[in-house]
Amino acid sequence: MDIFASHHRGISGRRFLHHSHILLTVLWSLSLVQTIPQVQGLGDWQSPETKRYCHAQNWLSMRQRKLCELHPDLIPSLTEGILAGISECKRNFRDRRWNCPVSNVTAVFGPSRLKTRNQEMAFLQGMTSASITFHVTRACGSGEVVECGCAQNKGRKHNKEAGTGDWAWGGCSDNIRYGMYFTRDFIDTTDTGGNDVTGANLMMQHNYEAGLKTIDTNMRVKCKCHGVSGTCTSKVCWNTMPKLEEVGQIVFNKYENAKFMTYSRKRRRLRPNRKDPSSRRKPANTDLVYLAASVDYCEPNKKHGSVGTHGRLCNKTSTSENGCPLLCCGRGYQTMVRKSRGNCNCRFEWCCEVVCETCLLSEELHICN
């Protein structure tokens, strides 16, 4: 399976041509080799090169291409967010039959994206929106773009825990509101580019919003103490996002507790599927939802985003998802021996060195039939 309105600054003359060339080079590289440079102050929304680039991206809808023209500075962060979301997907599902075989942005957005409506797609939708929000917000605080900056927190608060002294907002708080605003504006939850309401669209809309809220509801306050001789008579505090790996784990937990829904054509909304006892309650706006049961992912099935488990490495002694009986779907497995040279018989010698011998090491590999 496989970014808003503000002031814009024009660039003229040779500098205009130079920056336009940089914009095209960077964005072309992003879409092909998936590397993300640290880019600052790129682009002019009136640039013909910007328009040509944006309209050449077939994974963008027409509305998204217009946003691309208006906000070229944010496209690197957008792309980085999508790719980081895919990486988190691969990390969380690495030991499962479905190991997130997603290659690039076109698998997540655009006409060629996978259109399944199962739990795995629910995770990918939620993780993608969370990751885009994370990277756009981070770009605002780092000064990579000119149209947003740190969040403005005001006022002082009494520090009840310390008993005396106050803490004041300071530093650079993560501008999560702008990150969420930008992500909502970019994400197109319609299949056709129109205003049709379908179950798949409502599922996408709900899961994208759940991903946004995952970061918003897990913001924390970080503080730095000020005082004489190590005391903490006052604090300067700022809001910061959780690490993306932590966000990925939270979204994964939501995946495991996702709510099975059905689409009511008459009322044009999602409602709990009565066939699933755990989904009888209306889902919270932070829950993930899905509309179709997953396949077993044992065999390749392009329609369902399955590459099968033939040739996958499995754990002979595990009874979990990565164990040979489950991962290989009962087909059995073959055992191979891989030999390599490495350190062995290591010992600590006074003082202070670890001395090892070089040995020929053997490792058993178990591969699904």
Over residues 255-311, the pLDDT tens digits come to: 999 999 999 888 888 988 887 777 678 899 999 999 999 999 999 998 888 999 999
What is the pLDDT, as a whole number, of residue 17? 39
Return the beta strands (E) in the chain as ranges.
156-158, 166-169, 220-226, 234-240, 259-264, 269-272, 289-290, 300-301, 306-307, 313-314, 333-349, 353-368
Residue-wise pLDDT tens digits, 115-133: 889 999 999 999 999 999 9
Rounded Cα distance, 115 and 204, in Å: 10
Q: What are the backbone dihedrals phi and psi of residue 81, each rounded to the nearest 5 degrees, phi first?
A: -65, -45
pTM of the model: 0.78
Q: If residue 27 lies in a helix (H) or strand (E), which one and from where to where?
A: helix 13-33
What is the pLDDT, as a whole number, of residue 155? 52
For 160, residues 6+ apart whose C-beta sits below 8 A from its C-beta are none
Tokens (6 digits) for 122: 């629910």
Question: What does the mean pLDDT of the chain come to?
Answer: 81
Report the greatest alpha carbon distance in the chain.
Answer: 79
Rounded Cα distance, 272 and 101, in Å: 29
Rounded Cα distance, 279 and 277, in Å: 5
What whole-number percentage of the chain has pLDDT above 70?
A: 80
Task: With a cut of 50, say whether residue 354 has pLDDT above it.
Answer: yes
Is residue 211 very low, low, confident or very high in pLDDT (cuts 50, 70, 90)? very high
Strand order in the sheet with 259-264: 269-272, 259-264, 289-290
Q: What is the mean pLDDT of residues 40-53?
A: 64
Return the beta strands (E) in 39-85 as ranges.
none
Rounded Cα distance, 159 and 161, in Å: 6
Q: What letters, b where the CB count within 10 A reaches 16 and e where it falls short, cover 39-70?
A: beebbbbebebbbebbeebebbbeebbebbbb
What is the pLDDT, as a whole number, of residue 154? 58
Closest CA to 214 of 93, 126, 322: 126
Rounded Cα distance, 175 and 163, in Å: 30
What is the pLDDT, as a whole number, of residue 157? 56
Return the beta strands (E) in 138-258 as ranges.
156-158, 166-169, 220-226, 234-240
Q: How many CB atoms lie within 10 A of CB 6?
A: 12
What is the pLDDT, as a whole number, of residue 43? 52
